[in-house]
A and B are shown apart, each in its own frame.
Chain A
Amino acid sequence: MSDRQTVTDDAPQEARPAYRQTPTRRALAFLRNTWRKLTSMRTALVLLFLLALAALPGALLPQWDLNAQQTEEYIAENGWWGRLLDRLQFFDVYSSVWFSAIYLLLMVSLVGCLVPRTGDYIRAMRSGPVLTPKNLARLPHHTRAEVDDDPDAVIASVRRRLRGWRVTERTEAGGARTISAERGYLRETGNLVFHFGILGIIVAFAIGAMYSYEGQVIVHADGQEFCNSGIFAYDSFNPGLQVDGTELNPFCVRVDDFEPTYTDAGQPVNYAADIRYQSGEDLASGTWRDYRLEVNAPLRTAGDRVYLLGHGYAPTFTVTWPNGESRTQTIQWRPTDLNTMLSQGATKFDPPGVTDSRTRRENQLAVTGLFAPTAAFHGNILTSSFPDLTEPAVAVDIMRGELGIDAGRSQSIFEIDQSMVDSGRLERVARENLEIGESITLDDGTQISFDGVRRWVSLQVSHDPTQGWMLGFAIAMFVGLGASLSVKRRRFWARVTPLADSTGGGTSDVRRAVVELGGLARTDQAGYGEEFTAISRDLLGRTPQD
């Protein structure tokens, strides 16, 4: 097949001076030439390079959809250059116009390459081995011998030896009998399967990007429930272009428990969450099924997958106002050091029972600071010495004033709005280290106590309807590749010419013939030599060079 490709590449465009160049014709010629160029092997090569080159910035530069915060910082640090790169979609490589263009061109080139090759392939399969060349001595493998045998018998023995080859027998004008044989068609089959597999992967990947979604949610590991009922149920959600979030597969998950295990040095050994879930008919009947969710072992249900991505701690604080009213909240804090699970967060409180919205807004409270699952103090500074929950403590600032949560802007649940602090509307009124059971009393008599800790897990729900297809195409591609790289396509010819007896007897009972054998490996030459030698030896009863 490569022969054909090569020829196309080398062939000069046929000159057709006899035709008058009408615009239509010129346009047609242009289209035809463009198509030819686009589907030539050389273009495929160049496109492959471009694809490799275009993919690279994605590994070197931060990407919006992988790490938005880092990307933002990078742009800020690099000024106009960063902004230019952003405008040129260098932080969004895989959905950029230029990446998609290369991808699309490669796909077109692939189709343009595959269609004619499939045609050639079918024709070649139908037509059988090619004619025996006139001069077998010019082939890379060749041998010649005179035998005392009847040509028919020689032909029959060649046929017998070439079992498993495709064989065509012909009689030439001069009376010589020939056999053309070919083997290794599987190589071309494999090559086609491989390239069609790639095409399938490209198409499935594009479809997948449109119809898949991914959502993350934090669930407390104390029986809290999460249902895949809409985008609002998630903390963050990345839909494909065709996903509007209205028709998610319904299922619910309840996290009962989360147990990490660590070595004595604090290296994690295992994470596992005991969950219950319901989907399909279970939703109606209210049945819950148990599952042990672990890293590397997602829950697969209702066509979606649920993953255990991370975990952390949620300290419980109770605020008791001077009027006796109290509120208790358990809000997840975010681990800032995954080795020690030192965490950071902000638990925000509204004063209860205040009707005047302005007064209420100006007397909000936030408990913010650090949480350590195993407290270690350096002087007064809290750090954590072990990731598991053994001696929890917090180091907190109590902020009072206006939190800015009513301003309509969304706010991180892990932080307070620094601009409120800067503008003086939110003030620190206390700073303290607390262990479980301890509390702080503010100047106005408000009491804040640290009551305990819960664990939380972060779950990811993934949906991708093309996954199965993808796997199928990938396997096809791989099997095709194996066949196309390991099978050797080779040809073998035999020409048996009856010898007129020159010694004078002239009778036909002297059975003599010249046998010429020739061989050609259509692909990689190496290795065919031995096989050819073996066949020759079997047929002529000796090694070729005797």
Chain B
Amino acid sequence: MPVNETLSQYSDWSYTTSVVVYLLAMIFFLVEQSFGKHGKRVAERTRERQLVGAGAGSGSDVGTVEVAKDVPPSTGRAPRTRTERLGRMGVALTILAAALHLAALVLRGLATSRVPWGNMYEYIAAITFIGVVTWLVLLRKYPLRHLSAFVLLPVVILMFVGGTMLYAVAAPLQPALQSYWLVIHVAAAAASSGVFLIPGAASILYLIRSAHDRDPVKFGRFGPKLPSADILDKVAYRTTVFAFPVFTFGILCGAVWAEAAWGRFWGWDPKETVAFVSWVIYAAYLHSRATAGWRGTRAAVINIVGFAATVFNLFFVNLVSAGLHSYAGVS
């Protein structure tokens, strides 16, 4: 199948533009985060809502009768400050960038007449897209907007590395990858890795916030601007619980594909091994939340380690070790 050069060119432009727009959005969020009282106010509000205890999940949550009246009447009705407007513009920019990002992926796919996750450049583009979309979805439920920069930062770094050092020209797939399992297996792997970005970031913020809660001197300026530790923990847990089965599914599909392509469903190839290791770490995370003395800080650390393993798998195993998975399209 020949490659459509024009579409591929548009895809590249789209990609670059989206990185730039993400950067811009990040600056907006950073301004909001650093100068706005917003972060602080939201943090306080959520702490109050925590008292309510009942499923503080959605913004419209009503809680129980007795305590509900303690909750300030509503969110965001107060006159908007300038910084808050910046934050809203940040979200708008993020959505625009995500649309460009999606366009880059779709155009790549059209240019090559295949799924756009056949090499490392494309794979990173897909992962970061999923991460951003997950974040945008979470923003609708949780008061996290002013923290968006902490999610966009890894996204921009990954996309920059992907777009410069790992860039691969649009090309057809090599025979080993020509299988519908590529669609399923890699899509599941990319989706879960992308979502795992969020609990990783939330867990780091959780550690900061809970260190501040224990000793208000620590992170004295930054800590109070974060949402309550409970919210961060919840965000991390919910997203992990969503991503973990997807990741499990991805590994299972990988095994089925490996059986068809390499002659065995499991062979401790470096990529398989590190995927197994991250899977076990995330399983440990879920266990830790049901184990006395392991909730909270330790669980957050485990989650961060899990994401570190995921990133390690993406970079180290693709670029440094020589396994059967070396299809990265980088040489």
Contact = CB atoms under 8 A, between A and B. Distances in A.
Contacts of A294: 175
Nearest to B260: A296
A140 B263 contact: no
B175 A268 contact: yes
A41 B317 contact: no
A58 B268 contact: yes
B277 interface: yes
Interface string B44-88: 000000000111111001111110110000000000000000000
A10 B291 CA distance: 9
Contacts of A137: 66
Nearest to A265: B171
B280 interface: yes
Interface stretch (B120-128, B197-205, B248-256): B248-256
B241 A45 contact: no
Contact of A143 (B65, B174, B265, B273): B65
Contacts of B255: 474
B175 A295 contact: yes
Contacts of A10: 292
A141 B54 contact: yes
A243 interface: no
A471 B283 CA distance: 20
Nearest to A46: B284
Interface in A71-127: 93-94
A59 B321 contact: yes
Interface string B234-275: 100110010011001100100111011111111111110110
A55 to B, nearest CB: 5
A60 B264 contact: no
Contact of B284 (A49, A297, A470): A49
Interface string A205-217: 1000000001000
Nearest to B262: A307
Given A55-B273, A270-B178, A295 B261 contact: yes
A39 interface: no
Nearest to B321: A59
A531 to B, nearest CB: 9
Nearest to B288: A45
A485 interface: yes
Given A66-B268, A295-B178, A298-B263, A45 B291 contact: yes
B150 interface: no
A309 B55 CA distance: 54
A521 B56 CA distance: 13
Contacts of A55: 268, 273, 276-277, 280
Contacts of B138: none
Nearest to B317: A59
A288 interface: no
Contact of A59 (B58, B270, B288): B270
B291 A6 contact: yes
Contacts of B270: 58-60
Interface in B214-242: 234, 237-238, 241
Which of A41, A44, A94, A296 has the largest count of B CB atoms less than 10 A from its CB? A296
Nearest to B238: A526
A533 B55 CA distance: 11
B291 A42 contact: yes
Contacts of B271: 59
A63 interface: yes
A481 interface: yes
A143 B67 CA distance: 11
Interface stretch (A317-325, A407-415, A460-468): A460-468
Contact of A66 (B256, B267, B281): B267
A118 B24 CA distance: 55
B34 interface: no
A141 B263 contact: no
Contacts of B274: 56, 59
A270 B64 contact: no
B179 interface: yes
Nearest to A300: B260
Nearest to B271: A59
A9 interface: yes
Contacts of A9: 291-293
Interface in A451-479: 460, 462, 464, 467, 470-471, 474-475, 477-478
Contacts of B317: 59
Contacts of A63: 268
Nearest to A45: B287
A298 B55 contact: no
A55 B244 CA distance: 20
A313 B287 CA distance: 54
B290 interface: yes
B175 A214 contact: no
Contact of B58 (A48, A58, A530, A545): A530
B174 A268 contact: yes
B218 to A, nearest CB: 27
Nearest to B56: A526
Interface in B72-129: none
A529 interface: yes
A529 B264 contact: no
15 contacts: A6-B290, A10-B292, A45-B284, A52-B276, A59-B270, A59-B271, A94-B268, A270-B178, A295-B176, A296-B257, A297-B260, A307-B262, A526-B234, A529-B56, A545-B62
Given A55-B268, A142-B66, A524-B238, 7 more contacts: A6-B291, A51-B280, A55-B280, A93-B268, A263-B172, A268-B175, A529-B61
Closest 10 CB pairs of A and B: A529-B55, A2-B290, A59-B273, A59-B270, A529-B54, A52-B280, A48-B284, A526-B57, A296-B179, A462-B263
